[in-house]
Amino acid sequence: MEFLSFLIKRVLWSVLVLVGLSMVIFVIARVVPGDPARMALGPRATPEQVATMQAELGLDQPILQQYALFIEGLTRGDLGKSLLTERPVNDDIRETFAATFELVLCTMILAMGFGVPLGMIAAYWKDKWPDTAVRFFAIFAAVTPSFFLALLLQILAGYVLHLLPTTGRLPNSMEFEASWTGLLLIDSLISGRLDVFGEALRHLLLPALALAAATMGQMARLTRASMIDVSRQDYIEAARAFGIPEWLRVTKYMLRPSFVPPLTIMGLEFASLIGGAFVVEMVFAWPGMAAYGIRTILQKDLNAVMGVVMVSGVFFVLVNLAIDVLVGFVDPRVRIRGRR
Amino acid sequence: MTETTPDLMLSNAYQNWYRFSRNPTAMIGLVIVVLCVTAAILAPYITPFPDHVGAVTNFRARHLPPSAVNWFGTDNVGRDIFTRVIFGLRISLLLAVVVLGIAIPTGTILGMAAGYFGGWTEIIIMRITDVALAIPPLVMALAVAAVLSPDLLHSMLAIASLWWTWHTRMIYSITRQLRTQEFIEAAETLGASKFHILFREILPNCVSAIAVKTSLDCGFVILVGAALSFLGLGIQPPTPDLGTMVAQGASFLPDFWWESVLPGCAILFLALGFNLLGDGLRDLFDVEDVR
Amino acid sequence: MTYHKLLASTAAVAFLAFGAPSFAQTVVTMNTVQIFGTIDPAKISDYTDYMAAVNLYDGLISVDSSGNLIPELAESWVVSPDAKEVTFKIREDAKFTDGSPVEASDVIYSIERLLRINQGPANLFADVLTPGSVTAVDAKTVKFTLAKTFAPFLTTVPAIFILNADAVKPNEGADDAQTWLATNVAGAGAYSLKSWDRGAEMTITRNPDYYKGFLEGPIDTVHWIITSDEATVKSLAASGELTMTSQFQSPETYKALVDMGRFKMVSQDTGTAFYLKLNTKVAPTDDIHIRRALALATDYDTIRQVIFPGGVLSTPLPKAFAAYHNGDIPEPKFDMEGAKAEIAQSKYAGAPIPITLGYVAGTGFEEEISLLMQSNLEQLGFVVTQAADPWNRITEIAGKVETTPAVNQIFFGPTYPSPDSMFFTQYHSKAAGTWASMEWVNDPDVDAMIDAARATGDTAEQAKIYKELQAKLDDMKPDVYLLTQTVQHAMDNCLTGFNAVPMQSFDYDFTRYQWTCK
Amino acid sequence: MSALLSVRDLSVDFTTYGQTHQVLHGVSLDVPAHAQIALVGESGSGKTVTMKAIMGLLRQPPAHIRSGQIFYDGRDLLTLADNERLALRGTAMSMVFQDPMSSLNPVFTIADQMGTILKYADRRLGRSRSARDRMARVHEVLAQVRMRDPERISASYPIMLSGGMRQRVLIAMALLSEPALLIADEPGTALDVTTQAQILRLLKDLVTQRGLALLMITHNLGVVRETSSYVYVMNKGRVVEQAETATLFANPQSDYTKSLIAAVPRLTGGTRYGTVTP
C-alpha cells in the first residue's frame, strides 16, 4: 500500500514537472525574434497572408491566452501544425518517435548489459588489472564526444571495413511496414520477417554503440563504486562471517543493493542520452525524432520544436517513473518507506 | 619492511598530497589540465602560425598531412591545424569557465537555501530543479541558439541555465545532512545569523564536493559545447572551435583524416584531463557521491 | 485475359510475395542537400522542389538540354502573330496516373488554382494570366490569352504542372486542396510518390503505364536521401547504397568516389551563375568604389580552379545564353592594387571598413570562399564579420534591406529558359525582397529595360536590350561575378542520361535516364 | 591448555598511505569450552582486529599477519586453506554483529537471509534439509531469541523491524547451526540502554543454557561484569592485563585498567565508535 501511495506521489510529481516544462518551452518559443508566420510563408508572402497566418497560430492574442491555447492543445494531445512539414506535429513525432525509441531502448540495453557486468568485474578485482582496464574504458567512454565516436565508428565499420551499414534503419531496397509497434526489431519478428530483423539489427548497431558508450562507461563506473560501497557494508561482512560462499555474496548479496544507485542515476542521465541522440541521429541519418528536432530547430519551426522538447521531457519523466517502479522492486526500502 | 614512526597524525596537507600523488590517474589529469590551460593562455607565443587563427588562406598548402612543419597537418584552406587546435582550446575552456561561473554560484546558493530553510523555499527550488533536469542541456542550447542566433554566448547561457540544477541537487543533499548536525545547531543556539550559518558553517563543508564536481563538469560542459559546434551552432568562423573543426574535417574523411580526428582527439584529451583530475580529487576528498 | 498473360501476372505476384525483386528493379539512390519543401505544383519554388515535381507531374511542354521547348502533354502548340495567344493541342493518349485522360479542363483548373494560391511559380504569370485567360477550345485543345505581350511566356509554361482536376476536387477542403496536395500526388508524371519523410528521404516509383513510355533500361525507383554531410555521402557510396551524388559535393568527395571504381564523374557547364551579391543600399557596399574594390579583391582563379569548379562569368548573364551574352565586357581580374586604388576613392577611405560576408551555413566551399575573401579584404583594411546562416534564414533576412548582409554568396540559375528569368528575378524592382535579389538594385532604368525586352517578340531587339542591360549592370557592379557553375555529379558507371537543362532542376527528370548494365 | 580457542602471540600490521603500522603486538588469549570470556579495550586498542583475525575477516591487504597462531579445537586456523576456513564460519564459530541497523541485508527478507545461511551451513556439514525444514528451523531459532511472531518476522524486510528486533535476528542467525563458539562484537551498543540490557540478558541466557563458549568484545566494563567470568584488557595493540572478572574489578593491576574502571559510570551510554579500521 505504501508503494501505491509512493507511486501516486511520483505520478503527481511527474505531472508537475511536465507543467513546469510546458512553461519553460512556451517561454523559449515566444522570445523568437523572427516572425514564425512570415518564415512559414516564405519571402513572397503578402502582409495579409502573414496576418492571417498569425491569427491562425494565435500569435495576435495576449501571451497568457496563447499559453492557455498551447496547454489546451497539449491536453488534447494536439501540438499544432508544423510550419516546416505542414502536417500536424503529432503525426511527425509519431512517425519519428518509434525510430528514436528503438535506438534509445537498444542503447539502454547495451549500456546496462555491458556496463553493469563491467562494473562488477572491476569491483570484484578492485585495483587489479581488470579494474584498471574497466576504469580506463569507462573514463574514455565518458569523455569521447558522441559525435566523434559516431564518426569514427561510421568511417571504421562502414567505410574502411565495410562491416555494417552507416545510415538509416533499413536498406532502401527492403520493403517493410512497421505497423504494430513501429519498432522494426519487434514488428519484423511479429510478421516473421527474419531478413528485416537482421538488417534492422545491423543498422541499429553502430548508432546504438555510439550513443551507448558514454552511458555504458558511466554505468560501469557507478556499478563499480556502488559495489565497492556495498562490499564495505556490515551486512556483506556479516554474510562472510556466516559462511555464505563468495560467488553468492557477489551475485546476490552485493549485486541487488548495488543496483539501486546506478539505476536511479541512469534515470537522471537519461536526459543527456536524449541529448546525445540528437547528435548521433544526425551523423547516422537516423530517421528519428531527434533528427527531426534538429531540422525543425534550424527552420525555426516553433510548434515542432516545442513538440519535440515536450515529448523528450515526457519521455524523460516516463522513463524515470519506470525506473522508480523498478527500484521499488529491487529495493524494499523504497517500497516501504516510499522514497529513495 | 621499513621502520616508520607510528605517527598516525600525518599532517593533513601531506597526507592529501601523498594520496593524490600516488594516484596515477589523478596526476595524469592534473598534468593534462595544466598543460591545456597553459597552452591556451600562451597560444599566441607557442603556436607555430599564430596568424592562422584568422582568415588566412593558402590554397596551395591545403590538406597537407602532419609533418615537422605542420604537426597536425593543414586544413581545407591551408591553415595549420595544430595552431588552430591550441587556439580552439581557448573557446572550450572559456565555455567551461562561463557556464560553471554562472552555474556553480547559482546552484550552490539555491542548494544551500533549499536544504537549510526547507519548507516552501525547498519545494519551489527543488521542483524547478526537477523541471530543468528533464531538459537535455544540448537540446536547450540548440533551441535557444536557433531561436536567437547561433552564437556562442547564447549557447553558454542556455547551457548554464540548466547546468546549475546538478549543483543545486548536490549542495541540497549535503546541506540537508549538515542541517541536523551539532555544530549547526550550536551556531543556531548561539544566535548566528542565517547568512553566517549558510556561508561560514555550511559552505566550507561543501567545498570539497564542489571542487570535485567542478572538475568533472568542466569536462562535460566542454563535450556539450563541442557537440553544439559540431551541429553548426558554435562560434562563427574563422575563429577556431574544436567541434566545428571536427564537423568540417569530417567532410574529408578518411583521406584527410587528421582534419577531424586530431581536433576530436584534442576535445577528448581536454575532457579526459578534467575527468581524471575530478576522479583524483574525489578519491582525495573521499566524496564518493559526487559524479 | 489470355492464359499467357495470367501466367505472367501470377509470376509478378509471386515476386512480390517473396519480396525478392532486387534483380529486376533498378534503383537510383541520390543524395540531395536541401529538403523537399513541397510537392504541391502551386507552391514549388526552389531547385529541390522541382526535382520531385518534374518526376511526379507533367506539364504541357518541357525543356531539353539546349533550352529548346519540347512536347510533353501537349503534342503541338501555335503562337499567334502578336504573341498574345498560345494554343496547345493535348496528346490523344495523354493520361493521368489513375488512367483518366488529360483534358483542357484539367489545364484550366491547374492554372486557376495556381493563380488563386499565388505562390510558387505564380509570380511568373503575374499580370500575364488572369482568371479566364485560359480557355478550352475543345476537350483536347486549350488556349492561353495573355493580358499583355510577354515575350518569354512560352518558356515559362513548363513550370505549370497539370493536376488531375477530378482527383483533386473531392479533396479541396477549405484551402483549395493545399493540405491534400501537400502529401498526395494527382498528376500525369512518370513516377508516383511512394514515401516521403520530409527532411530525410523521398522515394518515387515508376508508373509502368506512363503514357509516353520509357527508354531502354528505365529507372524503376528513385530514392533521395537528404544529407549534405560529405562523410555520409562517402560511406553511403562505399556501402554500395548510393547511385549518384548531388551536385554540391566537395572535390575531395568526388575524388574519393571515383577512386572506389564504381563511379564516374559527369561534368557539364550550365546557365547557373554564382555571384557575390552586394547590397547596394547598406554601408559599405552602397559605394560603387567599394563594390568595384570587392570585384578586384576576388581571387577568381583560386575559386574556380581549387574551391569550386566553374567557368568564367563576365556579366550577370552566363555565356550559356549565347545569343544574349554581351561579349564586350571584359572578364573580371584579381588585382589587389586596383582594389586599393578604388577604396582610396570611396567615401569610406582612411578608416577600417566593417563589412559582413554572408553565406549558407554548412556549405564547405562557400565557407572557403568566404575565408578567402576575408583574408584578402583584411589586407585592404576591411574588418570582416562572417555570417553563416541556414538557407531558410537567408530567405528571411533577404526580405529587408537592413537585414541583408553587405556581401552574399548566391547561386542563381534560370527558372525558365530565357534571359528574362535571370534579369527580372534578380534585378527588377517588382521582384525585390527575395534571396535572388539581395542587391536591392531598384533602378527605374533597369526596370524599364527588362520590361522593354519582355514586351517585344523580336529576338534581335531583345538581344540588343539585354546586352545594353548587361553593360549597365556591369557599370553599377551590384555583383561580383564569381563563376558559371560546372555541374558535377559522381554517378554509377551504369547510369547515363544526365544533361544539364537551363530550367530549374528539369535535368533530374528521370525518364531521361537509363541504366546501361544488365 | 585445552582451550576451544587459543590465540598465540598474534602480531598484525596495517599499511595505509604507504606507511606500515603494527597494530597488534603479540596478543595471546584463550577461550575454554563453555566459558564466557571478555576482551575489553577502547577504540583503537586492537580488540576488533583480534576478533576479525579470529573470524578470518581481516582484509589482506591492508592488514598483514606478521606472526602468531590461532588454534581452534587444536587446528591452527592461519594455516588452513580459504575454503576450510570458510567451512568453520557460522558452524563451528559464529558471530553476533554489533550494529543491527547495518548488518542485515536491506533488500532481502529475514527468511531469505537466514534460510541461505542455514542452507550453506548444512551443505558444509554434509547435512541436507528441505526448504520447508529450513523454514521450520528459522522459526524455531527466532522463537528461541524470544521473538513473538516468528512467521511474520521472517517474512519481513529488515527495515520493517525495530533495532532490538534486528539485534535478536542477528543473534538468531549466529545460533542457526549451533556453533560451539560465539563471538559477540559489542552487541546492542547501537541501541538504547534498556534494549541493550535485554539483549545482553538474552545472550547470556542462551549461552549458559546451551553451554556455548562466548567471546565478548566490548569497550564497556559494565557489559563485562554482566556477561563474563574472565577478562582480557587490551591497550595499543597489546594485552595489558588478564584476570577473573571479579578479581579485575576488585584489584586492577595496570593503570590503564584502573582508568577504565574509573570511567565506567560515564560510559554506560556508550559510543558506537569501537573499531580501528583505517
For the segment D106-151, what is each residue's pLDDT rounded down to a tens digit? 888 888 888 888 888 777 777 788 888 888 877 877 877 777 887 8
Interface membership of A156 toward C (CB under 8 Å): no
Nearest-by-CA chain D residue for A246: D86
Nearest-by-CA chain B residue for A27: B144
With CA atoms as reference, report the closest residue to A267 among A14, A4, A8: A14
Separation CA B267–CA B280 (nearest Å): 20
Nearest neighbour of A43 by CB, restricted to C22, C227, C433: C433
Look at D180 and C469; give whichever has higher pLDDT: C469
Look at D130 and B124; give whichever has higher pLDDT: B124
Interface membership of A283 toward C (CB under 8 Å): yes
Phi then psi dihedrals of residue C171, to 5 deg: -110, 15
Q: Which chains touch C (3 or more CB pairs under 8 A)?
A: A, B
Contact A283 C239 (CB under 8 A): no
Nearest-by-CA chain C residue for A34: C396
Q: Name the E strands within B107-254.
A: none
Identify the CATH number of the domain defined by range A96-310. 1.10.3720.10
With a cut of 80, say whether residue A52 has pLDDT above it. no
Q: Which residues of C touch B75 (CB under 8 A)?
A: none
Determine the average pLDDT of the residues in C84-99. 93
Handedness of CA C439, C444, C448, C454 (dihedral sign): positive
CB-based touch D/C (3+ pairs, under 8 A): no
What is the predicted pLDDT for the residue at B5?
Answer: 41
DSSP-derived secondary structure letter, A159: I
What is the predicted pLDDT for the residue at A159?
Answer: 67
Separation CA B198–CA B190 (nearest Å): 15
Look at B15 and C83; give whichever has higher pLDDT: C83
CA C378 to the chain's CA centroid: 34
Nearest-by-CA chain A residue for D183: A241
What is the predicted pLDDT for the residue at A191?
Answer: 80
Contact D97 A238 (CB under 8 A): yes
Nearest neighbour of D89 by CB, restricted to A235, A242, A330: A242
Determine the average pLDDT of the residues in C82-90. 90
What pTM, to 2 d.p., does this model score?
0.78
Interface membership of A95 toward C (CB under 8 Å): yes
Q: How far does A215 lie from chain D, in Å, by closest CA?
A: 26
What is the predicted pLDDT for the residue at B11?
Answer: 60
Nearest neighbour of D157 by CB, restricted to A233, A242, A332: A332
Separation CA C481–CA C478 (nearest Å): 10
- Chain D interface residues facing chain A, Cβ-Cβ under 8 Å? 55, 57, 86-91, 94-95, 97, 99, 102-108, 116-117, 120-121, 124, 157, 159-160, 170, 173-174
Residue C42 burial by Cβ neighbours in a 10 Å radius (0-12, 13-18, 19+): buried
With a cut of 80, say whether residue B233 has pLDDT above it. no
Contact C434 A43 (CB under 8 A): yes
* D69 domain-assigned: no
Interface membership of B51 toward C (CB under 8 Å): no
- Quick: pLDDT tens for C94-118: 999 999 999 999 999 999 999 998 8
With a cut of 90, say whether residue C334 has pLDDT above it. yes
DSSP-derived secondary structure letter, A86: S
With a cut of 60, say whether residue C17 has pLDDT above it. no
Phi then psi dihedrals of residue C278, to 5 deg: -105, 125
Separation CA D97–CA D104 (nearest Å): 10
Q: How far does B59 lie from chain C, in Å, by closest CA?
A: 7
With CA atoms as reference, report the closest residue to C157 among C188, C199, C114, C105: C114
Determine the average pLDDT of the residues in C119-137. 87
What is the predicted pLDDT for the residue at A49?
Answer: 67
With a cut of 50, say whether residue D28 has pLDDT above it. yes
What is the predicted pLDDT for the residue at D268?
Answer: 44
What is the predicted pLDDT for the residue at B78?
Answer: 87
Interface membership of A214 toward D (CB under 8 Å): no
Separation CA C33–CA C27 (nearest Å): 19
Q: Which residues of A touch C433 (CB under 8 A)?
A: 43-44
Determine the average pLDDT of the residues in A42-46. 55
- Under the banding of pLDDT at 50, 70 and 90, the label for residue A32 is low
Interface membership of A179 toward C (CB under 8 Å): no
Contact B127 A20 (CB under 8 A): yes
% of chain A exceeding 70 in pLDDT: 87
Most confident of A97-111, B228-242, C95-109, C193-207: C95-109
- Under the banding of pLDDT at 50, 70 and 90, the label for residue C18 is very low
Contact C229 B251 (CB under 8 A): yes
With CA atoms as reference, report the closest residue to C388 among C359, C420, C345, C412: C359
Q: Which chains touch A (3 or more CB pairs under 8 A)?
A: B, C, D
What is the predicted pLDDT for the residue at B2?
Answer: 38
Instruction: Report the CATH superfamily, name and number, of domain B24-50+69-290.
Output: MetI-like (1.10.3720.10)
**Range with the poorest average pLDDT among B8-12, D48-52, D114-118:** B8-12
Residue C136: strand, helix, or coil: strand
Tallying the residues shown for chain A, one arrives at 340
Interface membership of B65 toward C (CB under 8 Å): no
Interface membership of D20 toward B (CB under 8 Å): yes
- Quick: pLDDT tens for D214-230: 888 887 777 777 778 88
**What b-and-e string marks burial along B100-137, b requiring 16 or more CB atoms within 10 Å of the CB?**
bebbbebbbbbbbbbbbeeeeebeebbbbbbbbbbbbb
**What b-and-e string marks burial along B30-52, b requiring 16 or more CB atoms within 10 Å of the CB?**
bebbeebeebbeebeeebebeeb
Nearest neighbour of C374 by CB, restricted to B55, B253, B255: B55
- Quick: pLDDT tens for D220-266: 777 777 778 888 888 888 888 888 887 877 787 878 787 777 776 54
What is the predicted pLDDT for the residue at B146?
Answer: 65
- Quick: pLDDT tens for B56-66: 888 888 888 89
Look at D86 and A46; give whichever has higher pLDDT: D86
Most confident of A287-296, C369-378, C427-436, D128-137: C369-378
Separation CA B215–CA B235 (nearest Å): 24
Task: Sketch the domain layout of chain B as residue ranges.
Answer: 24-50+69-290
- Quick: pLDDT tens for C341-393: 999 999 998 899 999 999 988 778 898 899 999 999 999 999 999 888 877 77
Most confident of A65-74, A223-232, C394-403, C506-515: C506-515
Contact D106 A235 (CB under 8 A): yes
- Under the banding of pLDDT at 50, 70 and 90, the label for residue B18 is confident
Check: CB of residue C114 under 8 Å from CB of residue C120. Answer: yes
Contact A283 C229 (CB under 8 A): yes
- Quick: pLDDT tens for C51-63: 999 999 999 999 9
Check: CB of residue A287 under 8 Å from CB of residue A99. Answer: yes
With a cut of 80, say whether residue D81 has pLDDT above it. no
Residue D192: strand, helix, or coil: coil
- Under the banding of pLDDT at 50, 70 and 90, the label for residue D178 is confident
Q: Which residue has the cell 501476372?
A: C9
Q: Which residues of D touch B18 (CB under 8 A)?
A: 17-18
With a cut of 80, say whether residue B246 has pLDDT above it. yes
Nearest-by-CA chain D residue for B21: D17
Identity at A151, one-letter amino acid code: L
What is the predicted pLDDT for the residue at C470?
Answer: 94
What is the predicted pLDDT for the residue at D273?
Answer: 39
What is the predicted pLDDT for the residue at C427?
Answer: 93
With a cut of 70, say whether residue B245 has pLDDT above it. yes
Identity at B88, one-letter amino acid code: G
Number of domains present in the structure of chain D: 1
Strand order in the sheet with C353-360: C310-311, C479-492, C263-278, C407-412, C353-360, C382-389
% of chain A exceeding 90 in pLDDT: 4
User: Mean pLDDT over all residues of chain C?
Assistant: 88
Beta-strand pair C263-278/C407-412? antiparallel
Contact D103 A336 (CB under 8 A): no
With a cut of 90, say whether residue C224 has pLDDT above it. yes
The CA-atom distances, in angstroms, between B105 and each of B160, B164, B165, B207, B289 are 11, 8, 11, 12, 20
What is the predicted pLDDT for the residue at C199?
Answer: 67
With a cut of 90, say whether residue B106 has pLDDT above it. yes
Instruction: Identify the CATH number of the domain in which residue D93 sits.
Output: 3.40.50.300
Phi then psi dihedrals of residue C459, to 5 deg: -65, -40
Q: How far does D23 lie from chain B, in Å, by closest CA?
A: 10
With a cut of 90, say whether residue A260 has pLDDT above it. no
- Find the domain containing D47 and state its range: 30-57+80-271
What is the predicted pLDDT for the residue at D2?
Answer: 64
- Number of A/B CB contacts below 8 angstroms equals 143
User: Mean pLDDT over all residues of chain A?
Assistant: 80
Contact A241 D87 (CB under 8 A): no
Helices C288-296, C336-345: axis angle to 10 degrees equals 170
Separation CA C516–CA C495 (nearest Å): 6
- Number of A/C CB contacts below 8 angstroms equals 97
How many helices (DSSP H) and strands (DSSP E) are in chain A? 16, 0
Contact A299 C225 (CB under 8 A): no
